[in-house]
């Protein structure tokens, strides 16, 4: 009988710890309702007694005047069963290193105790092995790395909240070419990071056409109560895959033919443009690339980046366009 009662107490107190908030205190009524959802009918007095007992062994904070509001202490490590193993700890440290700018503050606050616990676990391991993994991984870009544009913390918070809660935003913003600030009601659909610039994909007012707004051009943002109107067939991955961030120059694909320096061609053999790619060696030592691609501005930037290592053969219109750009560039240097 005693063993059964001890087991019930242990289960009840474990559930209380699992429902303990990290931000904002919760009263005994909150915990009572949480236990009732789990099938445990417990009095408020019993819950208060449990909480007092738990506070002797765990880093809990309470309302000192009435002792009716409870939460984890700010510096409390994560409470989780089973415990965090070293491989999970490494995963959390990698999130710290590479995803901080892509996660909303609410998520980062939630992950903070886990990240702290991950650091404690890795610091206890001997040097080498999994504990050293975060120091053995790096990320670089072959493009010139620019400083990210500044985004107001209140704007960023409102945008993240609108996406998480699927609610409308009232914003004040300006386009690159505009000098005056405009206001609008938008329906956020997704957030896309292009190198160091974040773009909010959205619709305006009651219009259905999808727009992109650079986050750093939003001066202010206010979260509204009205739900966002999200098109039934909208999927962010599909939208990106359709080339909407590549600045399409037409609605068709083109058969691109280029003559590349053999060194560049070797790189293309290892990392193909896509699965339609063909590489054909030429008598002059160069290699011809034949591939079906989207007709985009990004394609032009990619080709121009090779300089004298590439000659665009077809389509003729693209050949002439690249020729005009390079001719204008030569005039600049002369």
Q: Could you tell me the residue ranges of all domains in the chain?
A: 2-72, 86-135, 153-241, 248-333
Q: How far apart are CA 83 and CA 275, in angstroms?
A: 45
Please, are residues 117 and 77 in contact by the beta-carbon 8 Å criterion? Answer: yes
Write down the pLDDT at residue 166.
87
pLDDT in tens, 96-111: 776 766 666 656 666 7
What element of type H or E holds 61?
strand 60-62
More confident residue, 147 or 110: 147
Pick the most confident of 59-73, 231-245, 304-318: 304-318
Spatial separation of the C-alpha atoms in residues 181 and 245, rounded to whole Å:
24
Helix then strand then coil, in percent of the chain rounded to 5, is 45, 25, 35
pLDDT of res. 233: 86
Share of residues in the chain with pLDDT > 70 (%): 80
Q: Which CATH number fits domain 153-241: 2.30.30, 2.40.160, 1.10.10, 2.60.40?
A: 2.30.30
- Predicted confidence at residue 44, as pLDDT, reads 87
Asked whether residue 187 carries a pLDDT value surpassing 90, the answer given is yes
pLDDT at 265 over 80: yes
Of 132-136, 202-206, 324-328, the range with the lowest mean pLDDT is 132-136
pLDDT score recorded for residue 63: 74
* pLDDT above 50: residue 16: yes
pLDDT of residue 334: 82
Furthest-apart CA pair in the chain: how many Å? 96
pLDDT band at 66 (very low <50, low <70, confident <90, very high): low
Ramachandran class of 67: left when φ > 0, alpha when ψ lies in -120 to 50, beta otherwise = left
Most confident of 141-155, 159-173, 310-324: 310-324
Whether 2-72 shares its CATH topology with 248-333 is answered no
Average pLDDT, the chain: 81
Task: Judge if pTM exceeds 0.85.
Answer: no
Residue with more model confidence, 154 or 5: 154
Give the CATH number of domain 2-72; options: 2.115.10, 1.10.10, 2.40.10, 1.20.5. Answer: 1.10.10
pLDDT at 29 over 70: yes
pLDDT at 84: 66
- What pLDDT is stored for residue 188 in this prediction? 92
Does domain 248-333 sit in CATH 3.30.70? yes
In the prediction, which pLDDT does 282 show? 92
Can you give the pLDDT at residue 67? 54
Q: How far apart are CA 163 and CA 146, in angstroms?
A: 27
CB neighbour burial string for 297-314, b if at least 16 within 10 angstroms, e if fewer: eebbeebeeeeeebbbee
Kindly state the average pLDDT of the residues 16-29: 81
> What dihedral do alpha carbons 117, 140, 294, 234 form, nearest 10°?
20
Higher model confidence: residue 138 or residue 29?
29
Distance CA 272, CA 288 (A): 13
> Which position has the higher pLDDT, 273 or 80?
273
Q: Which residues contact 83 (CB under 8 A, 6 or more apart)?
A: none
The number of angstroms, rounded, from the C-alpha of 300 to the middle of its chain's C-alpha atoms is 28
Is the pLDDT assigned to residue 172 strictly greater than 80? Answer: yes
- pLDDT band at residue 1 under the 50/70/90 scheme: very low
Within 10 A of 185 (CB to CB), how many other CB atoms are there?
16
148 alpha-carbon distance from chain centroid: 15
Q: State yes or no: pLDDT of 311 exceeds 50.
A: yes
Higher-pLDDT residue of 23 and 197 is 197
Q: How does DSSP classify residue 215?
A: G
d(CA 90, CA 115): 9
């Amino acid at each position: 009988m005693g063993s059964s009662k001890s087991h019930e107490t242990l289960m009840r107190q474990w559930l209380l710890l699992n429902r303990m908030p990290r931000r904002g205190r919760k009263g005994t009524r909150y915990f009572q309702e949480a236990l009732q959802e789990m099938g445990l009918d417990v009095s408020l007095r019993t819950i208060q007694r449990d909480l007092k007992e738990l506070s002797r062994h765990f880093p809990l904070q309470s309302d000192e005047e009435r002792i009716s509001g409870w939460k984890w202490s700010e510096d409390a490590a994560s409470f989780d069963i089973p415990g965090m193993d070293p491989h999970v700890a490494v995963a959390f440290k990698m999130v710290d290193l590479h995803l901080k700018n892509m996660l909303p503050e609410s998520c980062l606050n939630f992950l903070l105790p886990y990240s702290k616990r991950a650091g404690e676990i890795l610091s206890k391991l001997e040097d080498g092995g999994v504990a050293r993994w975060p120091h053995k991984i790096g990320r670089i870009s072959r493009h010139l790395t620019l400083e990210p544009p500044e985004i107001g913390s209140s704007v960023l918070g409102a945008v993240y909240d609108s996406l998480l809660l699927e609610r409308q935003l009232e914003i004040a913003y300006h386009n690159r070419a505009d000098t005056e600030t405009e206001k609008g009601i938008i329906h956020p659909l997704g957030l896309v990071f292009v190198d160091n610039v974040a773009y909010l994909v959205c619709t305006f007012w009651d219009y259905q056409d999808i727009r992109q707004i650079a986050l750093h051009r939003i001066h202010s943002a206010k979260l509204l109560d009205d739900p966002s109107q999200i098109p039934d067939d909208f999927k962010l991955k599909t939208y990106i895959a359709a080339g909407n961030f590549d600045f399409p120059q037409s609605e068709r694909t083109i058969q691109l033919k280029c003559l590349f320096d053999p060194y560049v061609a070797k790189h293309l053999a290892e990392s193909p443009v896509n699965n339609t790619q063909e590489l054909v060696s030429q008598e002059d030592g160069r290699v011809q690339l034949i591939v079906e691609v989207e007709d985009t501005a990004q394609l032009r930037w990619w080709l121009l980046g090779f300089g004298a290592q590439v000659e665009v053969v077809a389509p003729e219109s693209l050949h002439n366009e690249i020729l005009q750009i390079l001719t204008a560039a030569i005039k600049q240097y002369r």
